[in-house]
A and B are shown apart, each in its own frame.
Chain A
Amino acid sequence: MSEQNDNLENLMRQSMAGDQRAYAALLTETARLLKPFLSRRLRFSNEVDDLLQEILLSIHKARHTYDGKRPYKPWVYAIAKFRLLDHLRAHYADHLRHAEDYDELEEILPDDVTETALSYESISAEVEKLPEKQATILRLMHQDGYTAKEVAAKIGMNESAVKVAAHRAYKILRERLER
């Protein structure tokens, strides 16, 4: 373990001197080190990968704050924890917003939020005027026949967020078509 630590500190010192190969090895080793740390705290593997990339970028940005005389791991974990907390904060804030939207959604149930009485073709021109994300979701669901779950996986959102976005799009469309 101590040998591995020494190795990381040596790699960081060499990196700071401008050794690009040492830096690549250090970042690879850091990613390997942090992956289980993030996996234990996050549910989806795509989240882990996204956050890991963000952490590597942060390490790169803050590299001048590393002091070669100090251990590398506490420094790198401080950055990882900081980015993880930031991510979780944003994630839960997002969840809270969606939970509020769900309350609204429940009011109109049992209307099926993934089905409309109109055909997609007849309103496709209106759909294209929607914000890009909403238009993409409707296109995938109604033109290409994907379920909300499949759309979520395809565009990297969670299922509830897709349903909420679809619901918002329906509301906008309904208002526009009723005019």
Chain B
Amino acid sequence: MNDIEQLVATLSSDMQPVKSAPHPYKLSLQWIGAAALYLLVTLALTGLRPDWRESFVEPWFVAEIVTLFALFIVSALGTALLAFPDLHQKRLLAFAPLVPAVLFAGVILLAWQADTPPAPLPEHSIECTCSILLTMLLPAFWTFYSLRRYASTHYRLAGSIALLSAFSIGALWLRLHEVNDSIAHVVEWHYLPMLGVGLLGLWVGRLVLKW
């Protein structure tokens, strides 16, 4: 009996009925539901920005929130697809987070151009980045914990998109909580760190999701 035959015999004798992993749509819905609940609870605890009525009639603010929310939803879906070795045979959809990311960057750029005269900068700076990072910890931890139960063959990318999705939650919370109209501040301290987090995700993905 050669090595392969021996291995086949060992593995097959170990085979018990297996419960299939949930469909990635279902999996992403679970993540999205839990993250949305987390966002609501966090907002309930910390409070919605007092000027939210006025803010939600500002078209650029609405566009920013909508595209950020879309980024969160689509990156959660992308992460769920990337958790499967064959991307559940939906390769195009797995890379779909690129679309809301580009849209979001476009909206931010246009909002920045429309910000004339520029809104006054708030006194704080890095505190915003730290708050977002703290807020994203729980969804990030949960997503990675859940991802480890699958078998990603794109673990770096899965890590990066998972962190982007978690970061979007933190960024959404802060935009809905903090009274701040300065798009320059938002770009510098809310959204540029997102790029760093995306890169960090490549490393964390390799570290945590390699199997």
Residues of A within 8 A of B (CB): 15-21, 23-24, 27-28, 31, 49, 52-53, 56-58, 60-68, 70-71, 74-75, 77-79, 81-82
Between A and B, 29 residue pairs with Cβ closer than 8 Å are A16-B17, A18-B16, A18-B17, A20-B12, A20-B15, A24-B8, A28-B8, A49-B3, A53-B3, A53-B4, A56-B8, A56-B11, A60-B11, A61-B211, A62-B85, A62-B150, A64-B18, A64-B19, A64-B20, A65-B20, A65-B84, A65-B151, A67-B21, A75-B85, A77-B86, A78-B86, A78-B153, A79-B153, A82-B153
Check A65 against B85 for contact (C-beta < 8 Å).
yes
**Would you call B9 an interface residue if the criterion is a C-beta within 8 Å of the partner chain's C-beta atoms?**
yes
Select which of A17, A24, A70, A81 is within 8 A of B12 by beta carbon: A24
A56 touches B7 (CB 8 A): yes
B116 in contact (CB, < 8 A)? no
Chain B interface size band reads 20 to 34
State in angstroms the CA–CA spacing of A65 and B211 once bound together.
Answer: 14
Give the shortest distance, in Å, between B203 (CB) and chain A (any CB). 16
Q: Does B14 contact A (CB under 8 A)?
A: yes
Q: Could you say which residues of chain B place their CB within 8 Å of the CB of A21?
A: 12
For A65, list chain B residues within 8 Å (CB).
20-21, 83-85, 150-151
B7 & A53 in contact (Cβ 8 Å cutoff): yes
Closest CB of chain A to B185's CB: distance in Å?
42
Q: Inside 8 A of A63's CB, which chain B residues have their CB?
A: 18
Residues of B in contact with A (beta carbons under 8 Å apart): 3-5, 7-9, 11-21, 23, 83-89, 150-151, 153, 211
The SS class assigned to the B binding surface is loop
| Known A17-B17, A61-B211; contact A79-B85, beta-carbon cutoff 8 A | yes
What chain A residues lie within 8 Å of B18 (beta carbons)?
A: 15-16, 18, 63-64
Task: Determine which residue in B16, B21, B151 has the highest number of CB atoms from chain A within 10 A of its CB, and name it.
Answer: B151
Complex contacts, B86 vs chain A, CB 8 Å: 70, 74-75, 77-78
B83 to chain A, nearest CB (A): 8
Label chain A's interface by main secondary structure.
Answer: helix
Contact of B88 among A20, A60, A70 (CB under 8 A): A70
| Minimum CB distance partner of B154 in chain A | A82
Q: Please, how many angstroms separate the alpha-carbon atoms of A76 and B153 in the complex?
A: 11
Given contacts A53-B7, A62-B150, A67-B20, 5 further A-B contacts (CB under 8 A): A24-B12, A53-B3, A64-B18, A65-B20, A77-B86
Contact A67 B151 (CB under 8 A): no
Point out the residues of chain A lying under 8 angstroms from B83, CB to CB.
65
* In-complex Cβ contact of A27 among B8, B19, B211 (8 A): B8
| A56 CA / B84 CA spacing, docked (Å) | 17
Contact of B23 with A67 in the complex, beta carbons under 8 Å:
yes
